[in-house]
Chain A
Amino acid sequence: MSATEKPAGGRRAEAGRRTGRTGGARRTATRTGQYTALLAYLLFLAFPFLWLLSTAFKPPRELGSLHPTWIPKAPTLENFRLAFEQQPLLAAAGNSLLAAAVSALVAIALATPMAYVLARYRSRLSRAATGWVVVSQAFPLVLVIIPLFLILKGLHLVDSRTGLIMVYVVWSLPFALWMLTGYVRSVPPELEEAAAVDGAGRVRTLVSVTAPLLAPGIAATALFAFITAWNEFFFALVLLKTPEKQTLPVVLTHFIGTEGVADLGPLAAAALLATLPSLLLFAVIQRRITGGMLAGAVKS
């Protein structure tokens, strides 16, 4: 068994050998304990999602059964059809897509130049910006949404997609700045200086040296901004009143409330569909996001 272990385990095996046979037995016990704990974690993380899946594919008769089962006996897609019938899911998804895509693109376009400056110049401005990033996290949204609501009302942008997009842009700026600043820092300034020495102009340096190196980070940040806007609920709830303009999370809450047992199927189906885009995109960028957050945090 120890032969198949990875290097770290091998080193631990050496330490175990020094303490003799009891050490080996204890090590096996430790491993068993570790796997048991890991399994418990996996179950805890997975079971609500598995139940959502299970519910989404159950016919009404099984949903009403006294003893619900994990695996549907007669799996059906009926719930998905019903979900689209009961609520305007397609239109809502369209609204969500528009708001998330536009706000992510605008936020990135605004944040990238500023992040560049914040990363390259250590000035009062960059300290103030870092301070704002932190403070903006600490303030409860009520304190922000009431004045925003009044301001947008004055501009006739309440119950408007434009108003929501504006709010999303500003709302995603702090973490976009945070992450992008980290990515810019990871591009050595020497590269830019070398390009400048070789006679490349400022713009040319940025476009042909810095931008290509930043591209993966920018893409990851944009996708993250997209996901957060796609998932966002509070602002959409407050700012959009007309049902035709509402985004997916708000429309999903219309399923909730007086639901009978039979309505749980369509509810689960709709919730599942609303999650898929976020899950897929997030799977793509997860590693990069974690790296970016820490990169932003390390040297601020």
Chain B
Amino acid sequence: MTLTSAPRRSVPAVSRATGVRRDHGAWFLVLPALIPILVLSLGPLLYGIGLAFTDAQSGRSQATGFVGLLNFSDLFQDTLFWDSFRIGLVWAFGVTVPQFFLALGLALLLNLDLRLRWLARALAIIPWAMPEVVVGIMWRLVYHPDAGVLNETLRDLGLSGADGRDWLSGLATALPAVVLVGVWAGMPQTTVTLLAGLQNVPRELHEAAAMDGAGAWRRFRAVTWPALRPVALAVTALNFIWNFNSFALVFVLTDGGPGGRTRLPMLFAYEEAFRYGQFGYAATMGLAMVAVISVLLALYLVGRLKGDDER
């Protein structure tokens, strides 16, 4: 019955076909996953938001009390945290933007008929599959002042003296050094996503444009980019969130040093919660991070979507 009346793949038609009995079955199928989600994900999230308004501390004998907005007013005056926040934004933008452009370049190259494509695809797996801790360790070896390859290469090129720099402990170099690692670590995933998006670009349009004598840049602007835009939008937004919330990489590389120059908000909040036991205050920091991310993302997405309409 439904097979003839329903349009292809129409979901309402499927549920109509099997009726109410299936809906009970559906709940039965959903519950095994729903319960852990509610208990160990959604619940803790709400609990965490609640904690931001309390003076919860680790290992305290008195009961946790409600303190209203005290944590928030403390946070406002906590210049150390805002420094860390600023570093977090520099890190998140500094990683996300180059990550996107480098990945776009590589994806465009891989979309051409070049030899060695397989090698690039194989190499792209390495940063993606590696544990973040190993990525951190690996780059510590690269940056190592004595045994690192970076200083040795610079020496060979005559760009630095006999005693190399200590990249990760230098006040000026630490943040750029970890940003570079962030770009390296996230680039492959972005590349593969963009590459998949590129395969949706209609080839015929490209060829037609080429026949009409459109140059590479014009073809990119007029044919490739409009098709790639949604993927690019989603991937940059997600990358920004992930980067802003990242922890392990910088924890291993510098542990926030030197002098807090690379102390991302996540590292700061982690220390606050699990080194000093200030659970409530750390939760407030988490909320502040969420707020800033949400606002930035909303601005970004609204701006981008508007840009779409105007065209």
Show the binding face of A for B, using Cβ within 8 Å.
Answer: 5-6, 8-9, 11-12, 15, 18-19, 30, 34-35, 37-39, 41-42, 44-49, 51-52, 54-55, 63-68, 70, 109-111, 113-114, 116-117, 120-122, 125, 132, 136-148, 150-151, 166-167, 169-170, 173, 177, 188-190, 193-194, 196-197, 202, 227, 230-234, 238, 248-249, 252-253, 255-256, 261, 264, 267-268, 271-272, 274-275, 278-279, 281-283, 286, 290-291, 293-294, 297
Contacts and interface: CB of A to CB of B under 8 A. Distances in A.
11 contacts: A5-B113, A19-B213, A41-B120, A48-B184, A110-B32, A113-B33, A139-B45, A140-B266, A147-B44, A173-B33, A173-B41
A117 B293 contact: no
Given A194-B3, A272-B134, 12 more contacts: A19-B213, A41-B106, A49-B123, A138-B241, A140-B245, A144-B44, A233-B131, A233-B247, A252-B133, A255-B137, A271-B134, A279-B129
Interface stretch (B7-15, B65-73, B170-178): B7-15
Contacts of B213: 19
B12 A146 contact: no
Among the interface residues B112, B282, B287, B289, which one has the most CB atoms of the partner chain A within 10 A?
A: B112
A34 B33 contact: no
A146 B51 contact: yes
Contacts of A11: 207, 210
B215 to A, nearest CB: 10
Contact of B109 (A41, A70, A111, A138): A41
B11 A121 contact: yes
B114 A38 contact: yes
B180 to A, nearest CB: 10
B3 A12 contact: no
B41 A189 contact: no
Q: How large is the interface on B (under 10, 10 to 19, 20 to 34, 35 or more residues)?
A: 35 or more
Given A113-B29, A282-B129, A51 B138 contact: yes
Interface of B: 2-3, 8-9, 11-12, 14-15, 17-18, 22, 25-26, 29-30, 32-34, 36-37, 40-45, 47-49, 51, 56, 102, 105-106, 109, 112-114, 116, 119-134, 137-142, 144, 146-149, 152, 155, 184, 187-188, 192-193, 196-197, 203, 207, 210-211, 213, 216, 234, 238, 241-242, 244-245, 247-248, 251-252, 265-266, 269-270, 273-274, 279, 282-283, 285-287, 289-290, 293-294, 297
